[in-house]
Structure 1
Amino acid sequence: MSPIRQLDEAVSELVGDGDVVALEGFTHLIPVAAGHEIIRQGRRDLTLCRMTPDVIYDQMIGAGCARKLVFSWGGNPGVGSLHRFRDAIQHSWPVPLEIEEHSHAGMANRYTAGASGLPFAVLRGYAGTDLPAHTESIKTIECPFTGESLAAVSALNPDVGIVHAQQADRQGNVQMWGITGVQKETVLASKRSLVTVEEVVDELEPRPGAVVLPKWVVSAVAEVPGGAHPSYAQGYYERDNDYYQRWDPIGRDREQFRQWVDTEVLDVERSAR
């Protein structure tokens, strides 16, 4: 069976209410279109994982998709706060939001442990912080060889890992290049995975430094040109800096946000019918 799906079919098949879902992409290749499809399908009670939750997670939280956020930094990059995120934390709107906070290194190591089939990862980190006292997935352990005190973080194995890439072939092999963050680790750590791509091609052309995800680790591929906008896809389009600026007043106001969801996310589905 071909792994190529329409985006709505892939999300319906792979993402369910209550799932642990990671949409990863570090400034580059953020799977924004997939996040909007999750909003359209009305998924609820999700645990959302992401090293850098930015505008797409602000939108998903404001739409009521999330009950918990596992993260290492949150903000509108280059602009300021995520106001739907703040509203959920401070006022439980639209629903209460639980948070689990890590460092970037801690989150990256959690994905790596999950991808490696290990129960936890070890790092020199969190020293001098109170995060271990508030986060069950961080523990202090003693090195059996040196006696050094180290941090251990539990493996992160999402139910669904979602990333965006530049290309896939018709068999479902995926290739991405440029800044790639923890996309590979996220896919390998997840029980199911969805990759949205700029284009499906007959054959992947090898590129220096590219990351290739073989078809056997990818559950589904959806061709979604522009699927990372407003982030960028190297070789296809640049970052839309104005979008991030425009988001700030929309995110600040509940009514403006509701109108934005209706016109920019939900009406997209209606107009396609």
Structure 2
Amino acid sequence: MREAIARYVHDGDVVAIEGFTHAIPTAAGHEIIRQGRKNLTLVRMTADIVVDQMLAGGCISTLVSSFVGNSSAGSLGELRRRVERSDPAPLDYQEYSHYGMICRYLAGAQRLPFYPLRSYFGSDLPRIQDGMRKVTSPFPDEKGLYEEIYVVPPINPDVTIVHAQRADRSGNTQMWGLTGIQAEAVFAAKHAIVVVEEIVDDDVIRADPNRTVIPALAVDAVVECPGATHPSFSQGYSDRDNDFYRSWSGISADPVTLSNWLDEWIYGTDDHADYLAKLGDATLARLRVGEALSGRVNYGTRLEPADGAGENTKDPR
């Protein structure tokens, strides 16, 4: 993780960190804080605890998002202070709808200049957000009219960071559970870091190819970091730490308490393994999950011809 962040995340970069409730690469955000990155534009559809922590670490100057909150468990104190009172510094917050963010990633992944959507009609967002424009369709509808439609610009991050359950050493990445917008965010970026619970042999990936959501050609770095999603969850590997989510509103409400938390849990730990050790065996045991194995799939294979098969040259007609 240390090497991947040092190589691909730089001051002033546009950084996308994706994962919708599930598979949030929190450990990558912690390493960005440890390395003292500054003036980042952070793109994250669901701005949550990791965003609050990175704001408190002084990493973010601009936030591009479609949701802000502590995952239905409370508030984000640092983000609220910056948006409501510019305390200790203002935050450039660029708000889109969920679908608007998806369209921006789709435009970025497909290298399009914009992406059309209808859902901003009747909304106040275009009045306060310059990143939503109207264009006239070049094609007439069935009545011969040329429709006006909203469009949003592409997102092309300098680096996208996502989490998944497993990958091979080349970066062929497999996910299950909530897959979110990870693949599109990776394809939209100049570089991509994939954080996984485990790196597996090529044969494991080849045995279940339909689970590969991100191919190696789109990946620059693979980081094996078990438990990297805490307090989020990784389907099949760890559960969501609801106690932590409930505690975060109190931690982040007071700047001194939040600063002390960063000192102890991020600056005071060498890496994520050290962070997990600090969480303790009791917490990790509480977050362990049991097995719920997927059913078997027969992908089929070509049978070898039987002796003499295929040798009959007689015209079947």
- Where on the TM-score scale, by shorter chain, does this alignment land: which range? over 0.9
Cα distance in 1 for residues equivalent to 2:237 and 2:66 = 28
Q: Which has the larger radius of gyration?
A: 2
Using the TM superposition, give the Cα deviation of residue 149 of structure 1 relative to its aligned residue in structure 2, in angstroms.
Answer: 2.4
Q: Is the 8 A contact 1:62 1:88 kept in 2?
A: no
Q: How does 1:36-55 map to 2 (within 5 A)?
A: 36-55=30-49
Provide the TM-score with structure 1 as the length reference. Answer: 0.93
Q: What percent of counterpart residues are identical?
A: 50
SS of 2:234's partner is coil
Using the TM superposition, give the Cα deviation of residue 231 of structure 1 relative to its aligned residue in structure 2, in angstroms.
Answer: 0.9
After superposition, the Cα gap between the structure-2 partners of 1:9 and 1:158, relative to the gap in structure 1 and judged at 3 Å, is same
2:60 counterpart of 1:74: no
Q: Is the 8 A contact 1:62 1:93 kept in 2?
A: no
Q: Which residue of 2 aligns with 1:220?
A: 221
Cα distance in 2 for residues equivalent to 1:23 and 1:252 = 24
Q: How does 1:129-148 map to 2 (within 5 A)?
A: 129-145=123-139, 146=141, 147-148=146-147
Cα distance in 2 for residues equivalent to 1:267 and 1:31 = 19
Q: Which residue of 1 aligns with 2:235?
A: 234
Cα distance in 2 for residues equivalent to 1:170 and 1:107 = 30
1:120 to 91, 114, 128: 114
Q: How does 1:1-273 map to 2 (within 5 A)?
A: 7-145=1-139, 146=141, 147-203=146-202, 204-205=204-205, 206-207=207-208, 210-269=211-270
SS of 2:266's partner is helix
Q: Is the 8 A contact 1:122 1:153 kept in 2?
A: yes
SS of 2:267's partner is helix
SS of 1:155's partner is coil
Using the TM superposition, give the Cα deviation of residue 218 of structure 1 relative to its aligned residue in structure 2, in angstroms.
Answer: 0.4
Q: Is the 8 A contact 1:120 1:153 kept in 2?
A: yes
Count of residue pairs the alignment pairs up: 266
Cα distance in 2 for residues equivalent to 1:136 and 1:35 = 28
Q: Which runs of 5+ in 2 are unaligned?
A: 275-317
Deviates more, 1:131-140 or 1:110-119: 131-140
Using the TM superposition, give the Cα deviation of residue 91 of structure 1 relative to its aligned residue in structure 2, in angstroms.
Answer: 2.9
Using the TM superposition, give the Cα deviation of residue 112 of structure 1 relative to its aligned residue in structure 2, in angstroms.
Answer: 0.6
The letter for the 2-side match of 1:225 is P
Using the TM superposition, give the Cα deviation of residue 125 of structure 1 relative to its aligned residue in structure 2, in angstroms.
Answer: 1.2
Using the TM superposition, give the Cα deviation of residue 134 of structure 1 relative to its aligned residue in structure 2, in angstroms.
Answer: 2.1
Q: Is the 8 A contact 1:50 1:70 kept in 2?
A: yes
The letter for the 1-side match of 2:181 is V
Q: Is the 8 A contact 1:64 1:95 kept in 2?
A: no
SS of 1:162's partner is strand
Using the TM superposition, give the Cα deviation of residue 212 of structure 1 relative to its aligned residue in structure 2, in angstroms.
Answer: 2.6
Using the TM superposition, give the Cα deviation of residue 106 of structure 1 relative to its aligned residue in structure 2, in angstroms.
Answer: 0.2
The letter for the 2-side match of 1:189 is A
The letter for the 1-side match of 2:222 is V
Cα distance in 2 for residues equivalent to 1:208 and 1:167 = 12
Cα distance in 1 for residues equivalent to 2:85 and 2:36 = 21
Q: Which residue of 2 aligns with 1:4?
A: none
* Higher strand proportion (structure 1 or 2): 1
Cα distance in 2 for residues equivalent to 1:211 and 1:148 = 39
Deviates more, 1:117-126 or 1:88-97: 88-97
RMSD: 1.6
Cα distance in 1 for residues equivalent to 2:85 and 2:270 = 30
Q: Which residue of 2 aligns with 1:3?
A: none
The letter for the 1-side match of 2:177 is G
Using the TM superposition, give the Cα deviation of residue 173 of structure 1 relative to its aligned residue in structure 2, in angstroms.
Answer: 1.5
After superposition, the Cα gap between the structure-2 partners of 1:94 and 1:199, relative to the gap in structure 1 and judged at 3 Å, is farther
Using the TM superposition, give the Cα deviation of residue 207 of structure 1 relative to its aligned residue in structure 2, in angstroms.
Answer: 4.4
Cα distance in 1 for residues equivalent to 2:74 and 2:212 = 31
Cα distance in 1 for residues equivalent to 2:86 and 2:25 = 26
